[in-house]
C-alpha cells in the first residue's frame, strides 16, 4: 500500500513539473533597449530631387578657376536620405532617371523603378525595369543593374536584353559588365538573334 502511495505521489509530482515547464515556455518577454528592433527613418526627404555629378578636366577657365564638366545628372520625384547611419545611403522609392555624358557630349539615359546610392562605396543599385538607352540607338534592358561610379563600371548577374539598331542585333543573356560608353562589353552567357551585314566588294 505504501509503495502504491509513493508511486502515486511521484506521478503527481511529474505531472505538476511538466505543467510548470509548459507554462513557462510562453513568450511573455518584452524586448527593450538594444534588443528591440529599431525603426529607421530618413534624416531628410527631398521632392523633385536633382543631383549633378561633375569632374574637373584639368584646364583653367578665363577667371583662373578650374573648369569642370557634367558627367551625370540624376533626377527623381522623391529621395530619402539615410546619411545619419553608420553605413549611409540614399533611396529613390518612386524611381529615378540618370543622364550620362561622355567626353564628346553624347548622352546615355538610364531609368529604373527604384534606386539606392551607397555613399561610402559610390555604388548605385538600380532595380525594376532598368533601361539604358544611348544616342546612337543602343538599348539595354535588365531587372537590376549596379553602377560603380568610382570605376565608371556597370554590371549585373541578372538576365538582360541588348539591342543594337545600328548593327541590327538583339542579344539576350545572363550576367554582364561594361563601361559607360559601351566601348567594352562582356557577357557571361548569351543567346539570341544576330544579323551580320556583308560588305560588298567593288
Task: Tell me how many domains the chain contains.
Answer: 1
Domain of 162, CATH number, reads: 2.60.450.10
Residue 152 inside a domain? The answer is yes
Residue 187 inside a domain? The answer is yes
- The 10s digit of each residue's pLDDT in 85-110 is 888 999 999 999 989 887 777 888 99
- Residue 27: pLDDT over 70: no
Residue 22 inside a domain? The answer is no
The fraction of the chain above a pLDDT of 90, given in percent, is: 23
Taking the C-alpha atoms of residue 161 and residue 140, their distance in angstroms, rounded to an integer, is 6
Q: What is the pLDDT of residue 95?
A: 95
Residue 12 inside a domain? The answer is no
Of 103, 156, 104, 105, give the one whose Cα is nearest residue 132. 156
Of 178, 141, 181, 176, give the one whose Cα is nearest residue 161. 141
Residue 59 inside a domain? The answer is yes
Residue 61 inside a domain? The answer is yes
Residues 67, 60 contacting (CB under 8 angstroms): yes
Which range of residues forms the domain containing residue 119? 40-194
- The 10s digit of each residue's pLDDT in 137-190 is 889 999 999 988 778 788 889 999 988 887 778 888 898 888 766 667 778 887
Q: What is the pLDDT of residue 75?
A: 94
Q: What is the pLDDT of residue 127?
A: 94
Taking the C-alpha atoms of residue 142 and residue 112, their distance in angstroms, rounded to an integer, is 10
Residue ranges with strand state E in 61-137: 66-81, 89-92, 96-101, 107-112, 114-118, 123-134
Residue 13 inside a domain? The answer is no
pTM score of the predicted model: 0.69
Residue 57 inside a domain? The answer is yes
Amino acid at each position: 500500500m505504501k509503495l502504491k502511495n509513493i508511486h502515486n505521489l511521484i506521478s503527481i509530482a511529474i505531472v505538476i513539473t511538466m505543467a510548470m515547464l509548459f507554462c513557462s515556455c510562453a513568450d511573455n518577454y518584452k524586448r527593450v533597449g538594444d534588443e528591440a528592433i529599431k525603426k529607421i527613418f530618413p534624416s531628410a526627404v527631398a521632392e523633385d530631387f536633382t543631383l549633378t555629378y561633375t569632374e574637373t578636366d584639368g584646364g583653367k577657365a578665363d577667371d583662373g578657376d578650374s573648369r569642370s564638366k557634367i558627367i551625370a545628372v540624376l533626377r527623381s520625384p522623391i529621395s530619402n536620405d539615410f546619411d545619419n547611419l553608420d553605413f549611409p545611403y540614399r533611396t529613390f522609392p518612386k524611381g529615378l532617371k540618370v543622364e550620362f555624358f561622355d567626353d564628346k557630349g553624347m548622352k546615355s539615359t538610364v531609368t529604373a523603378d527604384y534606386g539606392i546610392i551607397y555613399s561610402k562605396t559610390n555604388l548605385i543599385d538600380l532595380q525594376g525595369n532598368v533601361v539604358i538607352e544611348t544616342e546612337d540607338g543602343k538599348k539595354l534592358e535588365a531587372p537590376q543593374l549596379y553602377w560603380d561610379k568610382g570605376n565608371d563600371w556597370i554590371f549585373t548577374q541578372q538576365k538582360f536584353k541588348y539591342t543594337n539598331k545600328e548593327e541590327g542585333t538583339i542579344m539576350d543573356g545572363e550576367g554582364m559588365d561594361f563601361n559607360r560608353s559601351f566601348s567594352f562589353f562582356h557577357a557571361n552567357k548569351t543567346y539570341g538573334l544576330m544579323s551580320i551585314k556583308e560588305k560588298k566588294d567593288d
